[in-house]
Amino acid sequence: MKKYTKYLYFVIIVTFVGCNFLFSQINHEKFYEAFQKANTKDKVKMVANEQYENIKIIFPLISDTLENIKKNIYLKTNYKEARFYFDKIDINIDAYHKNYAKAISKLLKTLSENCSTLDDSLWCYINLKNCYLEIKDGIKAIDMNRFIEQNYNNRQDKSLEYGEAKSKLYSSIGMYRESIIERKKEKTWPRNLPMFADVSLNNDVGHFYNKLNKFDSAAHYFLLAKTALKKIQTTPQTEKTIKFYYGLIGGNLAYSKFYSGNYSEAIPLLEADVEANNASKEYRSAYNAYLMLIKTYLKLNSSQKAKIYLDTLQAFQKRFPDMFCDSKINLIYGEYYNLIKDYKQASQHFNQYIQSNDSVLSIEKERHFINQSVAYNVQNKELELRQKNIILANAKLEESKQKTYRAYTITGIILLIAIIILLVLNNQYSKKREKELAQINKQIQSQNIIIEQSLKEKEILLKEIHHRVKNNLQIITSMLSLQIGKTSSEESSFILNEAKQRIASIALTHQMLYQKGNLSSLQLDDFISKLVLQIESTIPQNNVTISLNLQSNNTSINIDTAIPLGLIINEIITNCFKHAFPNNRTGNINVSLIKELNQLVLTIKDDGIGFNVENASQNKSLGLELIEILAEQLNASLKTINENGTKYILTLNTN
């Protein structure tokens, strides 16, 4: 019967996957129908609050709609809730595709910019903890868990999952004693299955004792787990979970039996574990149980049974290629072929296992492992020969000595030949690797030269573009000057002069960019000084003095900030000249800039006649409306105060 085991497992897997797909199709249809009927906000919220794994089949059908919503809302608003939901969607997708580093980067950005509630922050910390666990950074996972512990009970959303327990965090960094202490405190874990709490507790503690190689203590807790499991009444709701735990506990107990040398006792436990995991769709656990079964049969020198499970495992791996893509199966095959003395196949699989590792250090470790494996097999043969020689020595002592001598001689020669072959192969591989690395280095160097040349060409081109833009803007201002000279209407001249001054402000920005070494940004103090000087030079003779007090600590800004900021300064100072000092009145305009933490505060104040701020906000001129639009574009706040003149305060974030 057991030779058909692999086919039975295959049928079980196909059946469960097929049923799962059928039921998920119905859910997908309902989800898609609800998505189509929902309003814009609820559409985004639905997708954000659903695991990507559950909706990945229909995601292509809704991705265009989400992208359009994102363009119209996310990129044009500071509304944190909308931004948070879109971030959740992206993070769920990255985590599903195992792009954990990318998910962590987005989670940290979301945490600092778009979390508006405690629940939002908790969601970020919980997912950061899980992602850090996936990349084997248990220390940071523990750091994330501290915030979760302090705030989890204050959450509003009671469905928000806690994430991995603290005991597992300690386990991830090898602190198994601390894991046992913490796990005993987590008596009600898992929260979604309270009746299985004692079962899970004792099973986990036993697992940690296994990791500490204290197999007797581990077995004690596994028996306690089984006792607790027997007390749970079997119902249609609990039957599946009970079977799963029976298999899991048996698999953990099999681990204890295996590493304490009781291989025969481990086999029925592992077979039950495989069956339970397949029935519960815990395919990763089933995969590990298959590996342990094969190792057990190899330890018992049962090559036929090991081969049956190897074929089953290979079919299992092909069925779920995305879930199981590790190289352990090559290592197992190598040990199997080594057992049946097919050293050619064994060498091929060992080499495949070695080549799957990325670093040279890993390769050396695996080659060392192969050498130890060969030595181990030779040692076993020596032990067998010794036992046989002891038995034969009772009858034929002299003959036994001669056979022993020949056996040692042959074994030494074989071992020496094997070592020589391995050294030769290792030397050839090292030389081949050195040549490949040298060729790769040459390619990288040539690519670096091409990139440097390309960057220089682009830098020259960018300077030329800024220069031409500045020239074109100056041509436009010259044309406006000609038009002003030929216009008899004062109102038209006034409008053209304002337009000319605004264009000149933009032209100054491009001029400063190509004149400086840095084409992407310019010094804020220098820019404002030159801009104010340019504005002052275009104003007819007057009795107004402009003073500057710029203390931005060498802050740099890019062109996207410089142009709207320059237009705002131009509009405010021009308004001061036009309206604050009528009838050629004497006065002062003070322009100050200071940096406070992560903010720049620009203040422009005159001591003129002032104006009514409320009336001005109701009857906005083009200049005031332009100032407000540009301030909103910069995500800056603008205050206008009538205080012994007029004061404009523009606060700009530097993040």
- What DSSP string runs through 399-419? HHHHHHHHHHHHHHHHHHHHH
What is the C-alpha radius of gyration for the chain, rounded to an integer number of angstroms? 38
Of 198, 162, 161, nearest to 183 by C-alpha is 198
The predicted structure's pLDDT at residue 554: 80
What's the distance, CA 330 to chain centroid?
29
Residues constituting the chain: 655
- The answer to whether residues 555 and 586 touch, using CB atoms and an 8 Å cutoff, is no
Q: State how far the Cα of 246 lies from the Cα of 531, in Å rounded to an integer.
A: 78
Lowest mean pLDDT among 285-294, 389-398, 415-424, 438-447: 389-398
Task: Answer whether the bond into residue 190 is a cis peptide, omega within 30°.
Answer: yes
What is the DSSP-derived secondary structure letter of residue 190?
A: S
Model confidence band, residue 415 (pLDDT cutoffs 50, 70, 90) = very high
| Residue 283 domain-assigned (yes or no) | no
Query: Residue 551: pLDDT above 80?
Result: yes
Of 92, 162, 164, 154, nearest to 118 by C-alpha is 154
Please, what is the Cα angle at 456 between 454 and 459, to 5 degrees?
110
pLDDT digits (tens, 9 = 90+) for 206-263: 888 988 888 888 889 988 988 888 888 888 888 888 888 888 888 888 888 888 888 8
- Tell me the mean pLDDT in the region 161-186: 86
Q: State how far the Cα of 455 lies from the Cα of 470, in Å rounded to an integer.
A: 22
What is the DSSP-derived secondary structure letter of residue 164?
A: S
Four-point Cα dihedral 58, 64, 66, 72, nearest 10: -170
Half-sphere exposure of 336 toward its Cβ, with a 13 Å CA cutoff? 24
The 10 Å Cβ neighbour count of residue 653 is 12
The predicted structure's pLDDT at residue 361: 44
Q: Is 2 or 42 the better-scoring residue by pLDDT?
A: 42
Q: Is 326 or 15 the better-scoring residue by pLDDT?
A: 326
Query: Which residue blocks in 281-342 are alpha helix, DSSP H?
Result: 283-299, 303-319, 328-339
- The answer to whether residues 134 and 101 touch, using CB atoms and an 8 Å cutoff, is no
Q: State how far the Cα of 422 lies from the Cα of 407, in Å rounded to an integer.
A: 22
Choose one of 111, 129, 164: the last residue of a domain. 164
- The answer to whether residues 508 and 530 touch, using CB atoms and an 8 Å cutoff, is yes
From the DSSP assignment, how many helices (H) and strands (E) are in the chain?
25, 7
The predicted structure's pLDDT at residue 420: 93
**Structural domain of 605:** 542-653
Backbone angles phi, psi at 650, to 5 degrees: -110, 120
Sequence letter at residue 438: A
Choose one of 107, 137, 164: the last residue of a domain. 164
User: Which of 94-98, 194-198, 277-281 ranks highest by mean pLDDT?
Assistant: 94-98
Q: Residue 120: is it exposed, middle or buried by C-beta count within 10 angstroms (0-12/13-18/19+)?
A: buried
Indicate the number of domains in the chain.
2
Q: State how far the Cα of 56 lies from the Cα of 75, in Å rounded to an integer.
A: 25
The predicted structure's pLDDT at residue 91: 92
Mean of the per-residue pLDDT values of the chain: 78
Phi-psi region of 632 (alpha: psi -120 to 50; beta: other; left: phi over 0): alpha
Choose one of 148, 164, 180: the last residue of a domain. 164
Phi-psi region of 218 (alpha: psi -120 to 50; beta: other; left: phi over 0): alpha
Query: Residue 481: pLDDT above 80?
Result: no
Q: State how far the Cα of 350 lies from the Cα of 329, in Å rounded to an integer.
A: 10
Q: State how far the Cα of 421 lies from the Cα of 411, in Å rounded to an integer.
A: 15
| Residue 199 domain-assigned (yes or no) | no
| Residue 32 domain-assigned (yes or no) | no
Q: State how far the Cα of 269 lies from the Cα of 218, in Å rounded to an integer.
A: 15
Task: Give the torsion sign (CA, 58, 61, 65, 71).
Answer: positive
Query: Residue 293: pLDDT above 60?
Result: yes
Q: State how far the Cα of 518 lies from the Cα of 556, in Å rounded to an integer.
A: 10
| Residue 234 domain-assigned (yes or no) | no
Model confidence band, residue 613 (pLDDT cutoffs 50, 70, 90) = low
| Residue 422 domain-assigned (yes or no) | no
| Residue 620 domain-assigned (yes or no) | yes
pLDDT digits (tens, 9 = 90+) for 432-472: 888 888 888 888 888 888 888 877 767 677 766 766 776 77
Four-point Cα dihedral 376, 380, 386, 392, nearest 10: -160
pLDDT digits (tens, 9 = 90+) for 512-540: 766 666 667 788 888 888 888 888 877 77
Its pTM surpasses 0.85 = no
Query: Residue 619: pLDDT above 60?
Result: no
- Tell me the mean pLDDT in the region 150-161: 87
CATH of the domain at 619: 3.30.565.10
The predicted structure's pLDDT at residue 262: 84
Secondary structure (H, E, C), 224-274: HHHHHHHCCCCCCCCHHHHHHHHHHHHHHHHHHHHHCCCHHHHHHHHHHHH
DSSP 3-state assignment of 596? strand
Model confidence band, residue 359 (pLDDT cutoffs 50, 70, 90) = very low
The predicted structure's pLDDT at residue 189: 67
| Residue 141 domain-assigned (yes or no) | yes
Model confidence band, residue 322 (pLDDT cutoffs 50, 70, 90) = low
What is the full DSSP assignment across 605-645? Answer: EE-S----HHHHHHS--HHHHHHHHHHHHTT-EEEEEESSS
- Tell me the mean pLDDT in the region 581-600: 86
| Residue 197 domain-assigned (yes or no) | no
Sequence letter at residue 152: Y
